[in-house]
Amino acid sequence: MGRTGLYIIILWYLVYVLVISADAADTKHLNIWPMPQSVSYGYGSLYLSNDFVLKTKGSKFADASGILKDAFFRTINVVKATHVIEANTSNINPTFVLKGIHVVVLSPSDELQHGIDESYKLHIPANGNPLYVHIEAQTVYGALHGLETFSQLCHYNFSSRGIQVHQVPWTIVDQPRFSYRGLLIDTASHYLPLPVIKKVIDSMTYAKLNVLHWHIVDSQSFPLEIPSYPKLWDGAYSISERYTTADAAEIVSYAVKRGINVLAEIDVPGHAQSWGVGYPALWPSPDCKEPLDVSNEFTFKLIDGILSDFSKIFKYKFVHLGGDEVDTSCWQSTPHVYKWLWRNGLNGSEAYQYFVLRAQKMALSHGYEIINWEETFNNFGSKLSRKTVVHNWLGSGVAQRVVKAGLRCIVSNQDKWYLDHLDALWQGFYTNEPLANITDPKQQALVLGGEVCMWGEHIDGSDIEQTIWPRAAAAAERLWTPYDKLAKDPEQVRDRLSYFRCLLNQRGVAAAPLEGLGRAAPEEPGSCYVQ
Amino acid sequence: MYSSNPRSNLLFVVLILFSSSLLINSRKLDLKQPQQLDHGHTDDSLAYVWPLPWDYTFGNQTLTVDPNLSLVTQGNGGHSVIVSEAFDRYKKIIFEHCSSKLDGSGVDYHLTRLNVIVHSGNEELQLGVDESYTLMVAARDELSVIGGITIEANTVYGALHGLETLSQLCAFDYGTKTVKLFNAPWYIQDKPRFKYRGLLIDTSRHYLPIEIIKQVIESMSYAKLNVLHWHIIDEESFPLEVPTYPKLWKGSYTKWERYTTDDASEIVNFAKMRGINVMAEVDVPGHAESWGKGYPDVWPSPSCREPLDVSKNFTFDLISGILADMRKIFPFELFHLGGDEVHYDCWNSTPHVKQWLQDHNMTAKDAYQYFVLRAQEIAISLKWTPVNWEETFNTFASSLDPRTVVHNWLGSGVCPKAVAKGFRCVFSNQGVWYLDHLDVPWDSVYYAEPLEGITDASEQELVIGGEVCMWAETADASNFQQTIWPRAAAAAERLWSKKESASSANTTVLPRLEYFRCLLTRRGIQAAPVTNFYARRPPSGPGSCYSQ
């Protein structure tokens, strides 16, 4: 190396120093959502190579179905979608250019199950040649979270016209606080077209949510094909507002490839009126179309058939059996049901218990563990299968009682985590603590996590995204980030959440302003970052 | 393959001959009550197209479509990447439900090939480009050897419209798990009524990420709109890069809420691939306060930041620079110079401007005219045709360059006046076509007529079309699409279809529009319920998309 070489080194050093000082000023804030477990960073700045590559040397994961590869390309696409890249990184000193990501996955398995290791380590060195981002994870799904975090460290730079990573070196060690971080969608109140569901799934990955609770059917409509009982989807709103089993399998596979489990629900016996459109025998009588006829063996045969068909599509270890809002009064007023109750020595609430427990046994026989809404616990908690997970919704304090009784629990108290409650603000989503008043570590471990619920009475393809986001993100951080790192005052995270909602917008997700009620329109002209 | 296509024209004639026997039961949808669209359980006739084609006949056959539908192209423009990429997009839309498991090898489909014939190899997209197309669909059977799907168009842009129409004839049959094309055989001859069918987006009141703008463009192509009027900058923010005056985008809200020139070119190209022109706007002198963030000299004074300082040559240098830079990005022949809502009082109260007015023997109103005309000259020198908001016409019509396109917005009756004076006009009456007016229901949008009050045929010619305007004071990425749709679609049919078929006597409109809004949601577009009185409101309760 002659004089020129030395000159170039000095020049680059100057550029480096200038870049640092220029960038340190406006990127001192951490804008990662949800906040990782531990983060350290420096003051350097690097470019992303025009041909940024994925390297998996040393990884035990073969990626036969392309989960990692596809996720890598999605990551690059969302990073590059914000602006047209003009920078030519081949003209830049390679010691400032990240050539790619080196992902090492230690487990060869691509099975996604509840409680899977989702941890990852992300390291971006400040120097080296060649320079690679390093992600190490136990499972491919942990690596996917690492890629998402990485994407949030990348910024389009208007001076260099390329993607830059500021504040290198980065070292991030991360894992979720809860293993169940859910979002409920409801396709019975309104049918949600496949692209809409897929977009919701994509957006969930940005916030590291990992369970899509699919409340498929309810009183209003039955959109899903059930091959064993093909008339069930006669209960769909129309001939075209339906999902084939292939569609459902496609949704599941789409979600799993993104590290998201799909929890299917049939809500029995209280939310099932639409079943009777195809099979009127399920209705106790024309005046009493709900709850399902407890006295008719066909009811249970049908549930068994549905669960059997489910088990071929929905591979998550849980199935949701509902069990909420069961008003048994019309069982009593329907002569043949009343007779059956009398013959079996049951009153209405005992028949409700009988129904739920019998459905539970069926689910168990198909290899599922069960999730039930909290009324089942509130009414006959001690009778429930020990494999039951109680899904709270009515109010706070339920999780406490559930875990005390030794059952597992998911928190969704409606006052804070029901997205259809437009007056539930993001601050409340953020501060709702699933472990409130639960101090015993053994009991704490029984709280699997929480879920925000997007009930669909007033939700369809036109407004689902802005009703979910950004409030669901506030809950997502509560469920992901270590308790100690969560802000005590949600206003401390407002700017970062605002930044995340603008990031969602850049990725084409219609996330609403933070200001105002859920999905409120912006009040006036202004920057995304302050609304 | 070759340009004149005698072979395809022959097939055409043969098809029509056969049609007379095949189409015994066919009828004109616009003359008779159509088959009732029943999303309940029985009737599979989904033959609803939006906007309604110009002329068409159909039958009563149901044909299956091969999920491996292949594209065969002919003509000088057939090989265009615009056609092949559109074909790939529409295949994804049409076969949304067909997973690979259902590829049905061994099944005998009626329709396995799509023939696209494009006569012209010229891909220049301009105002008045030939957008017509013919779409024929017939089964291949003993009677007819000319089965299949054929789209014939003079330009690739006509072919794109044909593909859109074709996609709307297809529907997934949940029973057989195949895509079916109902009411075949189809013979459609289609063309737009107006050559300018616009939608305004406003990226100054709220920045729209590129991804969102692309979603809007994509959705426009579903309704056959063809002009994206990009109101890029206004008083609130200046998000666009102008290389000649690089401090201008200091007027952006934040450093993240900006478009580079390459971003803008990317949007123009993305739109072109979908047959959509992008008309850029620089709204001078009244809506330009944000310019002064980078160049405070264009503000008459710190207390008078608008209109732009008419007394300084620098103001016009800046406009020249902006327009020259924009000319490299926006090839569309129309360029919008704004000119609306110019409150020039503060010119009078700013000493140096007042002095300049006196020196030039001008009133402030004269200076407004002077400003607009000088800006027009700059645009014309760059080979642009200027478009101006109607105040310019209302205030000094006789001085405007005769090439000016007058853009109506304040109320009705303006286009009749403009065309009477020989100007061309774009209709955007705010009472009916401003989408930010949430209290304008779909039918008010639909029954607005751009030619109202114009009877003379040569004057009618001068109304080049209309535009719905999505002003963004309270619209951002979170609610943009549901404020635009489905009302923009109502205007789109007004601008595309025959006047008679869009008359109030046509009772098919509401069910067809409801169907179209569901089609939009099925394509991932956030189109709001049709029948809510206020726009972008959520559905009032549970129910089918097709009745909300």
A101 and A249 assigned to the same domain? no
Using pLDDT thresholds of 50, 70 and 90, give the confidence band for residue B508.
confident
CATH code of residue A169? 3.30.379.10
Lowest mean pLDDT among A166-180, B4-18, B506-520: B4-18
Tell me how crowded residue A118 is: count the other CB atoms within 10 A of its CB.
Answer: 24
Q: Report the pLDDT averaged over residues A79-105.
A: 93
Tell me how crowded residue B401 is: count the other CB atoms within 10 A of its CB.
Answer: 15
List the single residue in A with minimal CA-CA distance to B179. A240
pLDDT of the residue at B8: 44
Q: Taking a contact as any Cβ pair under 8 Å apart, which residues of chain A between 68 and 87 contact chain B? A: 81-84, 86
Q: Nearest by CB to A239, which of B39, B258, B266?
A: B39
Q: Taking a contact as any Cβ pair under 8 Å apart, which residues of chain A between 502 and 521 contact chain B? A: 502, 505-508, 510-513, 519, 521
Q: Which of A460, A467, A469, A524 to mutate to test binding with chain B, by most B CBs within 10 Å of its CB?
A: A460
pLDDT of the residue at B33: 31
Identify whether the C-beta of residue A60 lies closer than 8 Å to the C-beta of residue A103. Answer: no
- Average of per-residue pLDDT values in chain B: 90
Identify whether the C-beta of residue B548 lies closer than 8 Å to the C-beta of residue B530. Answer: yes
pLDDT of the residue at B146: 61
Can you read off the two tokens belonging to residue B387? 């478009």
Q: Nearest by CB to B212, which of A240, A458, A505?
A: A505
Using pLDDT thresholds of 50, 70 and 90, give the confidence band for residue B38.
very low
Give the end of a domain, one of A136, A152, A174: A174
Q: Report the pLDDT averaged over residues B497-519.
A: 86
Any CB–CB contact under 8 A between A529 and chain B? yes
Identify whether the C-beta of residue A505 lies closer than 8 Å to the C-beta of residue A514. Answer: no
Length of chain A: 531
Strand spans (E) along B273-394: 277-281, 334-336, 385-389
Can you read off the two tokens belonging to residue A493? 């995270």
How many angstroms separate the CA atoms of A389 and A228, rounded?
A: 27
Identify whether the C-beta of residue A496 lies closer than 8 Å to the C-beta of residue A30. Answer: yes
- A379 burial (CB, 10 Å; 0-12 / 13-18 / 19+) is middle
Q: Does an H or E element contain A454, and which?
A: strand A447-454
How many angstroms separate the CA atoms of A339 and A335, rounded?
A: 6
| Helix, strand, or coil (residue A234) | helix
How many angstroms separate the CA atoms of B221 and A355, rounded?
A: 52
Helices (H), A27-90: 67-80
Q: Are B260 and A161 a contacting pair at CB < 8 A?
A: yes
Angle, nearest 10°, between helix axes B81-94 and B156-169? 10
Amino acid at site A13: Y
Sheet containing A170-174, strands listed edge to edge, beginning at the edge strand earlier in sequence:
A38-40, A170-174, A120-124, A131-137, A97-105, A44-55, A162-168, A154-157
Our separate counts of H helices and E strands in chain B read 17, 16
Q: Are B253 and A526 a contacting pair at CB < 8 A?
A: yes
Using pLDDT thresholds of 50, 70 and 90, give the confidence band for residue B19.
very low
pLDDT of the residue at B139: 85
Q: Give the model confidence (pLDDT) of A463-497 as tens digits.
A: 999 999 999 999 999 999 999 999 999 999 999 99
Amino acid at site B256: W
How many angstroms separate the CA atoms of B153 and B86, rounded?
A: 14
Q: Which is more confident, A413 or B507?
A: A413
Which of A187, A170, A306 is closest to A236 using CA atoms?
Answer: A187
How many angstroms separate the CA atoms of B139 and B147, rounded?
A: 5
Supply the range of the domain harboring residue A94.
38-174
Q: What residues of B are in contact with residue A246 (Cβ under 8 Å)?
A: 97, 99, 101-102, 177
Kindly tell me if the per-residue pLDDT of B5 is higher than 70: no
Q: Is the dihedral of CA A136, A142, A143, A149 positive or negative?
A: negative
pLDDT of the residue at B140: 74
| Helix, strand, or coil (residue A112) | coil
Kindly tell me if the per-residue pLDDT of A8 is higher than 60: no
Q: How far apart are the first and last CA of chain A?
A: 54
Q: How many domains does chain A have?
A: 2
Kindly tell me if the per-residue pLDDT of A17 is higher than 70: no
Domain with CATH 3.30.379.10 in chain B: 55-190
**DSSP β-bridge partners for residue B434:** B469
Q: What residues of B are in contact with residue A230 (Cβ under 8 Å)?
A: none
| Helix, strand, or coil (residue A176) | coil
Kindly tell me if the per-residue pLDDT of B40 is higher than 70: no
Q: What residues of A are in contact with residue B207 (Cβ under 8 Å)?
A: 527-528
Tell me how crowded residue B107 is: count the other CB atoms within 10 A of its CB.
Answer: 12
Strand spans (E) along A198-310: 211-215, 261-265
pLDDT of the residue at A14: 42
Question: Does A520 fall in a domain?
Answer: no
Query: Which residues fall within 8 angstroms of residue B437, CB to CB, at 6 or more apart?
Result: B430, B431, B535
- The listed CATH number (3.30.470.160, 3.40.50.2300, 3.40.30.10, 3.30.379.10) that belongs to domain B55-190: 3.30.379.10
Q: Nearest CA of chain A to the CA of B9: how many Å?
A: 37
- Average of per-residue pLDDT values in chain A: 93
**DSSP β-bridge partners for residue A47:** A97, A164
B341 is catalytic: yes
Tell me how crowded residue B538 is: count the other CB atoms within 10 A of its CB.
Answer: 22
Identify whether the C-beta of residue B97 lies closer than 8 Å to the C-beta of residue B170. Answer: no
pLDDT of the residue at B48: 87
How many angstroms separate the CA atoms of A339 and A341, rounded?
A: 5
Question: Does A3 fall in a domain?
Answer: no
Identify whether the C-beta of residue B342 lies closer than 8 Å to the C-beta of residue B286. Answer: yes
How many angstroms separate the CA atoms of B309 and B286, rounded?
A: 10
Q: Give the model confidence (pLDDT) of B195-237 as tens digits.
A: 999 999 999 999 999 999 999 999 999 999 999 999 999 999 9
- A6 burial (CB, 10 Å; 0-12 / 13-18 / 19+) is exposed
Query: Which residues fall within 8 angstroms of residue B439, CB to CB, at 6 or more apart?
Result: B533, B534, B535
Q: Give the model confidence (pLDDT) of A414-427 as tens digits.
A: 999 999 999 999 99
Q: What residues of B are in contact with residue A507 (Cβ under 8 Å)?
A: 209, 211
**DSSP β-bridge partners for residue B280:** B230
ipTM of the modeled complex: 0.91
How many angstroms separate the CA atoms of B76 and B332, rounded?
A: 23
Domain with CATH 3.20.20.80 in chain B: 196-501+515-523
Can you read off the two tokens belonging to residue A229? 């009982």
Q: Are B545 and A191 a contacting pair at CB < 8 A?
A: yes
Question: Does A493 fall in a domain?
Answer: no
Identify whether the C-beta of residue B153 lies closer than 8 Å to the C-beta of residue B133. Answer: yes
3-state helix, strand, coil in chain A (%, to 5): 40, 20, 40
Length of chain B: 548
A152 and A214 assigned to the same domain? no
Any CB–CB contact under 8 A between A254 and chain B? no
pLDDT of the residue at A128: 87
Angle, nearest 10°, between helix axes A494-506 and A471-480? 120
A127 and A208 assigned to the same domain? no
Kindly tell me if the per-residue pLDDT of B35 is higher than 80: no
Kindly tell me if the per-residue pLDDT of A342 is higher than 60: yes
Kindly tell me if the per-residue pLDDT of B42 is higher than 50: no
Quickly name the fold that domain B196-501+515-523 has.
TIM Barrel (3.20.20)
A164 and A212 assigned to the same domain? no
pLDDT of the residue at A488: 95
A166 and A198 assigned to the same domain? no
Identify whether the C-beta of residue B92 lies closer than 8 Å to the C-beta of residue B131. Answer: no
Cβ density class A392-408: b for 16+ within 10 Å, e for less: bbeebebbbbbbeeebb
Question: Does A393 fall in a domain?
Answer: yes
Using pLDDT thresholds of 50, 70 and 90, give the confidence band for residue B108.
confident
Q: Which of A250, A325, A350, A433 is catalytic?
A: A325
Q: Are A237 and B543 a contacting pair at CB < 8 A?
A: yes
How many angstroms separate the CA atoms of B39 and B547, rounded?
A: 9
| Helix, strand, or coil (residue B388) | strand
Pairing of strands B133-138, B405-407: unpaired
> Tokens 């709109």 appear where?
B225
